[in-house]
Structure 1
């Protein structure tokens, strides 16, 4: 049975608690600590180590770091080979390149072989900002989620990122972890323990429940505060693990809800919203509304302004809930 709960410490982990920081920065710091604890961990990068923060691992363990160049497909195939040889490879690049350019290699060499590869992709979503549509991956969760045997995780903050990385290193099998470029607020409580396949319920509302992951957990918590102040009892749950999704938590939330709202920095097609809708329609039908990117590409701009432009804010969640209850 694969381990799914964190059992070791990283930076005492609490060093990352309460800090507003980019999840990619938490990755860079945690990876070094994991490298110290496990000599079988190796890291591969596609010539973007300064951006993905794997440069930290390279400086500490140069003999266990491999810069594959602008060759993402080769990187995934090599990672699969290293895994089959007994290593625990972490393969990193931008989300758009990891999941798009190398999808076939991930399917055939990693997942079909059940290779123990951890794909940690940074720069996910539209908050990549000024790099524009070509670098803003809003499809990656869908691309990874559809492959048999792939675990998909979208951490909410630095603290959860560290724990998710530790759990993934201990877990036997392919894992995709989606991280971001921009700083994100710290939202998870200090007593939180990440476990693959488990959601974290902040609270369950009797009117509305917001299901979110990544940067949208912070926005969901803001929206819930506003809605509760207006007399609409609202709860929030962090579904950082999109696959396998926490069926038990989802059923519990749905049966107590008048409305479910999903919120993700990803296309509404194929991501968290789709995963929730698929389960709900078959097991506990309730009205669902989805917040996300609406079947379009990103565009260049300031990260915060792009969140507003694409309707990924607390205010948009509040508006959606109010419109439903007015009806």
Structure 2
């Protein structure tokens, strides 16, 4: 507690030998952060530039990648500062804000994945009705709900815990997650019950909806011809891979909030870094490689870049030859 400024500070005690490997941590995290931004914005730029990618499926992919960029931007700068600092600390208000961004954006990712699953369901199971169902207005409503609903749901526990007294000031994490509830002097049953409601609303219900839609898709594909199966495999497989990866990482976060200090410190760090390093970078890579149309435009982009480099190099060679003569 800083009495002069009336600011409560929380010590982030989840780092492992940060003083020994601070520059290695910093370099790896900075490199991955730059890759996340570059890869994500490359695909978003392709979707924005090419008219044939102005379809609901690709718009949802762009929204998902932007969501990952915002999530990374909310987490990485603070981590990079901590790696180079002697003490890893954060004010309680900043910790609460980081908690809000983390869980609202994770909830948004589940909602966006659910919207993508519904889009694939309509496209494959009701192809004739697709243009009338997945209109521009429908896409805008889905996007608005995907960001507004999780933000509103996550804001409630923050408001409820605003006046709660803290008895602990050390968090065994490198970021502010649901372990902040362990800092309170009294365990609130209201917050506990609302936490269960939040998990059901933001995670389990969208997940069940996604599983239901993909089950319907697989049933239709099993009864259909090979072309329908091929189309389903090309468009649904990337979504399923992202869903499985994201669900596993979110499950860990829920478990760690319940188990608490029973988890070894090194395991906490590794799993947290998985969510920060692996998943945001996994999204643009999997969509760039597995989505046929995006992959096609990426190949053209790199081919054009290589061609420009070759032309420039040829011009330089010609200039050198002429100057030599």
Instruction: Work out whether the TM-score is over 0.5.
Output: no
TM range (shorter): under 0.3
Whichever structure has more strand as a proportion of its residues is 1
- Tell me which of the two structures has the higher relative contact order, counting C-alpha pairs closer than 8 angstroms and 6 or more residues apart: 2
What TM-score does the superposition give when structure 1 sets the normalisation length? 0.25
What TM-score does the superposition give when structure 2 sets the normalisation length? 0.25
Structure possessing the higher radius of gyration over alpha carbons? 2
